[in-house]
Amino acid sequence: MKNTLLRHFTQTALQGLFGLLPLVIVTVVVLWLYGKVAKLAEWVLGLVGFEPQSHLFLWFLLVLVVFFVILYIIGHFMRTRLADYAEKLLGKIPGYKTVKDLVGIFNSSKKGENQVLVVAIRGFATEGYNIGLMYSQKESIIQDHYTVTLSMSPIPNGGYMFEVHRDNIYIIEKATFDDNLQYLLSMGVKSLAEIVPSTPKPLEALIPLGRWLESQEAGTD
């Protein structure tokens, strides 16, 4: 009984950690950037005799405006060729590309050949199917086979990679990387149909990988 309660407490705490972690990271980054902008604005305005202590609300609004303007400039910069040059320079730093690719995995809205897909593949038991992820839609070294990853539950920081024939892979269109993460953390308590949400449907209603790839090629022509 004690072991069961401890396991339940640990698993629930880990679910809370993974659920809270993205929000904490974003908050820390935003507060750090805001602090840097505030110091810069205080130094610049100090040159013209402006005292923040005398106009706290105006000071807050001013820093907020400058902060969002800087974010806009950075966002605009990322869309220009200058970003490509910066990317090439950063790419020379050992390990930068690996870290960048790992971070990119968590962007479930990525499009193109590296789009993260949630898929159903023919099961590794005698019957049934497993839910997995395709981080890339590039063909494997084995013809007509593609790499599918099955993550562990409830801690999805490990898993197994399999080369699966395209005829045994079906796309779950509405599901995202985040949906699959919630599914893993719930340990199956929540079905993927609840998380997406979607009504359960027969396998034939899912899109086979081969047909999905053909539609993608047709869209790029």
Assess whether 140 and 205 both reside in one domain.
yes
Assess whether 73 and 146 both reside in one domain.
no
**Domain of 14, in residue numbers:** 2-79
Residue with tokens 């730093």: 93
Domain boundary among 31, 52, 79: 79
- Residue 167, domain member (yes or no): yes
- Residue 109, domain member (yes or no): no
Assess whether 62 and 134 both reside in one domain.
no
Contact call for residues 169 and 119 (beta carbons, < 8 A): yes
- Residue 95, domain member (yes or no): no
Read off the tokens for 177: 């990387």
Assess whether 53 and 128 both reside in one domain.
no
DSSP designation for 153: S
Assess whether 72 and 139 both reside in one domain.
no
Beta bridge partners of 129: 122
- Residue 112, domain member (yes or no): no
Look at the chain and report how many structural domains it folds into: 2
Residue with tokens 């980054």: 29
Assess whether 64 and 128 both reside in one domain.
no
Assess whether 127 and 67 both reside in one domain.
no
Domain boundary among 18, 49, 79: 79
Contact call for residues 173 and 212 (beta carbons, < 8 A): no
Assess whether 74 and 157 both reside in one domain.
no
CA distance 173 to 171: 6
Q: What are the C-alpha distances in Å from 143 to residues 83, 135, 138, 149, 165?
A: 36, 18, 11, 18, 8
- Residue 73, domain member (yes or no): yes
- Cis bond before residue 208 (omega within 30° of 0): no
Quick one: pLDDT at residue 90?
65
Assess whether 61 and 138 both reside in one domain.
no
Tens-digit pLDDT string for the chain (221 aa) = 555 676 666 667 766 666 666 667 767 777 787 777 777 777 766 666 666 666 666 667 777 777 777 777 777 766 666 666 666 776 666 656 655 655 555 554 444 445 788 999 987 767 788 899 998 888 999 999 999 998 888 777 678 899 999 999 999 988 888 888 888 888 888 888 888 888 888 888 899 999 998 888 877 65
Contact call for residues 143 and 160 (beta carbons, < 8 A): no
Quick one: pLDDT at residue 71?
74
Domain boundary among 62, 79, 96: 79
Quick one: pLDDT at residue 176?
83
